[in-house]
Amino acid sequence: MEFDVAVLGGGSAGYAAASSAQSHGAKVAIVDPGPLGGLCILRGCMPTKTILRSSDIIALMRRAQEFGLLPVKASADLAAINDRKNQLIREFTDYRVEQLKNPRFTLIQEKAEFISPSEVQVGKSILKAKSFIIATGSVITEYPIPGLKETGYVTSDEVLTMRKTPESIIVIGAGAVAVELAQFFIRIGTKVTLIQRSHHILSQSDEDLALPVEARFREENMNLYTGTKIIKASKENDRSTIYFEHEGKEKRVEAETILQALGRRPNIDGINLQAAGVATDIGRVTVDSEMRTSQKNIFAVGDVNGIHEVVHIAIQQGEIAGFNACSPDNSKEVDNRLKASVVFTDPAVASVGLSEKECKATNIDYLVASYPFSDHGKSICLGETYGHVKILCTPTTGEVLGGHIVGPEAGELIHEIITLMHFHGTVYDLINIPHYHPTLAEILTYPAEALVERLSGK
Ligand SMILES: Cc1cc2nc3c(=O)[nH]c(=O)nc-3n(C[C@H](O)[C@H](O)[C@H](O)COP(=O)(O)OP(=O)(O)OC[C@H]3O[C@@H](n4cnc5c(N)ncnc54)[C@H](O)[C@@H]3O)c2cc1C
């Protein structure tokens, strides 16, 4: 059991790391106790996006008359929605397991625990490696809300196995997972109350991006409370109840169940980082831009380092760590300039690069312009007029610093800005690149035009 590189965890980050190290000539082991497949495939991106497709379609069906169609009676069958999801996920999982079992790696289906910086215990054996890549992912965080544990709650994991649509649900939290699932439930016929501590949902983004989503949620009859403080949870007459402060008053809401969607934390449980001499900071494995931990032969990638818990970043970090583990004299670094995120609500929210909040916090000068979908031809044709696009650029050269879209197909449209920023493109490039008419993508040229006018002093 001696390897050049041993990867702990075979999810998105771990598989990318193993693949990259193996293709750079290393003898690679992947250690993962399973279930194999990783969070994205088993309980994250893919299953949630599959079920959201059903709730998006039912929401459109309810709008039939708006488009000159005869009204249809649309109702959801959560068991059938989850059956469709299970079938698709089985296929994705089978493919990933096949990749992990490929003879280019040695797959060891055991839990790994460090016993020194160059050895891990796997079952009854000791595995030695020159480098380790920790990719053990994340776990759901438990928050100390009085009475919540005793009252009971579901998480995104249980939602994916539900067979019966709950009559009502209280969602606590308003990050990506919380808001996507809150809208899923309201659209399949559950009465939804969402309670959030900060003054807007998706609080890490600029506020203007949250407003169209909040407006849509309210239009869909969601009870949305922001700027709250949860006091306690309790079970009353078999109903899950939350007491909270809102606008200076104590309020109480009750529902059939509670969805605890307050977030996840890095999974460092039981891997004995102390024995490896790997430092952590508030539960996250700290890494430098080469993905190295405080122990130079040990890397940490994906959710376990808590930098930005999304899949393409996990993969990018994995590829870089896999390369660096094999090429000590020629290290690569992660480029955080293109940090992107997408929230798959309707309207969707997509961002790349710097937000206004970040520019202000770090004293970066910027120009900004926005344009609403309600004034854009193609979105008016589609009947999708919630939201806007926003572009930030430097006040000197017009290089794009960030792009933000809240609106139809935001998750697809953002890739034009990602591509532009990859090549250090400017707002001048954006208006010079041809855009087919009529498309949603054309809208990006309007804020770019406004910025070009300001840059040229018109
Ligand atoms: C509901 C939900 C929806 C999401 N939607 C999106 C989305 O739309 N887009 C997006 O980009 N991201 C999304 N994410 C986030 C995304 O799923 C994660 O960022 C990503 O999957 C993390 O990959 P990872 O490789 O770091 O961890 P994981 O995929 O969790 O892999 C960790 C692996 O480590 C193994 N392991 C654990 N302990 C040990 C041990 N001691 N020894 C060896 N192996 C171990 C586990 O078995 C697991 O296979 C979503 C997450 C959730 C929860």
Going by C-alpha positions, the residue among 222, 227, 239 that lies closest to residue 197 is: 227
Report the Cα 337 to chain-centroid distance in Å. 17
Pocket test for ligand 1, best of 8, 48, 307, 311 (most atoms within 8 A of CB): 311
Name which of 417, 409, 359, 406 is nearest 202 in CA terms. Answer: 406
Strand partners, 245: 229, 250
By the 8 A CB rule, do 377 and 351 touch?
no
Looking at residue 1, its pLDDT comes to 86
Which atom of ligand 1 is found nearest the CA of 8?
A: 43
457 pLDDT tier (thresholds 50, 70, 90): confident
C-alpha–C-alpha distance, residues 1 and 192, integer Å: 52
Q: Is 218 exposed, middle or buried (0-12, 13-18, 19+ CB in 10 A)?
A: exposed
Q: What is the pTM of this model?
A: 0.97
Can you tell me the distance from the alpha carbon of 184 to that of 85, in angstroms, rounded to the nearest whole number?
14
* Closest Cα to atom 7 of ligand 1: 45
- Among 304, 301, 438, residue whose Cα is nearest residue 380: 438
Residues sharing a CB contact under 8 Å with residue 55, sequence separation 6 or more, in sequence order: 76, 183, 184, 187, 188
Mean pLDDT taken over the chain: 97
143 pLDDT exceeds 90?
no
Neighbour tally for 191: CB within 10 Å: 16
The minimum-distance atom of ligand 1 relative to the CA of 140 is 53
Confirm or reject: Cβ of 47 under 6 Å from ligand 1: no
C-alpha 101 to ligand 1 mean position (Å): 19
**Beta pairing partners, 170:** 193, 258
Residue having the nearest C-alpha atom to atom 50 of ligand 1: 44
Q: What is the mean pLDDT of the segment spanning 411-427? A: 98
Q: Best substitution site from 15, 20, 39, 42 to test ligand 1's pocket, by max atoms within 8 Å of Cβ?
A: 39
Find the 38 Cα to ligand 1 centroid distance in Å. 5
Residue 329 burial (C-beta neighbours within 10 Å; 0-12, 13-18, 19+): exposed
pLDDT (tens digit per residue) in 313-335: 999 999 999 999 999 889 999 98
pLDDT at 344 over 90: yes
Rounded distance, CA 229 to CA 82, Å? 33
How many angstroms does the Cα of residue 262 sit away from the middle of ligand 1?
Answer: 16
User: Sheet of 191-195: strands edge to edge?
Assistant: 223-225, 191-195, 168-172, 257-260
308 lines ligand 1 (CB under 6 A): no
Q: What is the mean pLDDT of residues 361-383?
A: 98
Question: What pLDDT digit, counting tens, does each position of 289-315 carry?
Answer: 999 999 999 999 999 999 999 999 999
pLDDT at 278 over 70: yes
Is any ligand 1 atom within 6 A of the Cβ of residue 11? yes
Q: How many CB atoms lie within 10 A of CB 338?
A: 16
pLDDT score of 285? 98
Mean pLDDT of 439-444: 98
User: What atom of ligand 1 comes closest to residue 303's alpha carbon?
Assistant: 26
Q: To test the ligand 1 pocket, which listed residue (8, 42, 45, 339) has its Cβ within 8 A of the most ligand atoms?
A: 45
Radius of gyration of the chain (CA): 24
Cβ–ligand 1 distance for 310 under 6 Å, the answer: yes
pLDDT score of 458 more than 70: no
- 250-259 pLDDT, tens digit per residue, is 999 999 999 9
271 pocket-lining for ligand 1 (C-beta < 6 Å): yes
Which two structure tokens, joined as six digits, stand for 259?
């969805």
End-to-end, the C-alpha distance of the chain in Å comes to 69
Please name the helix (run of DSSP H) or strand (run of DSSP E) that holds residue 55, with its range, or none: helix 45-61
Decide if 214 contacts 201 (C-beta within 8 A).
yes
